Amino acid sequence: DQQVKQNSPSLSVQEGRISILNCDYTNSMFDYFLWYKKYPAEGPTFLISISSIKDKNEDGRFTVFLNKSAKHLSLHIVPSQPGDSAVYFCAAKILGSYQLTFGKGTKLSVIP
């Protein structure tokens, strides 16, 4: 039973345009959400997070939006750069737990 779903295995975007990566979850007990970026042959790198008490969090070119009623979050990258080409993982945590549940990832390709 996959509790965190990234339904798009891959996404291609032109440099300078917006990249939107989506994530859906099924467990209403999740209260903290994170995005990680992973380059080949490296470990995942923490990118940005959001608590369930917020609906938006911004950090430079990266913004995460949370829609609790739809159990949906998205990561917006504006403007997209070739260096953003990587696999992006969505993750979620239940209140009081210290485990993360990860999605299967979306491979973003930013075309120069």
Give the residues lining the site for another protein (CB under 8 A). Answer: 32, 34, 36, 41-46, 49, 89, 91, 93, 97-100, 102-105
User: Each residue of 74-91: b (16+ CB within 10 Å) or e?
Assistant: bbbbeebeeebbbbbbbb
22 SS3 class: strand
Please say which residue, 14 or 45, places its beta carbon nearer to another protein: 45
Helix (H) or strand (E) holding 30: strand 30-38
Please say which residue, 17 or 54, places its beta carbon nearer to another protein: 54
Tokens representing 100 are 């993360």
Minimum gap (Å) between residue 42 Cβ and another protein: 6
83 SS3 class: helix
Minimum gap (Å) between residue 82 Cβ and another protein: 22
Please say which residue, 25 or 44, places its beta carbon nearer to another protein: 44
Q: What is the CA radius of gyration of the chain?
A: 13
Please say which residue, 69 or 99, places its beta carbon nearer to another protein: 99
Minimum gap (Å) between residue 40 Cβ and another protein: 10
Minimum gap (Å) between residue 105 Cβ and another protein: 5
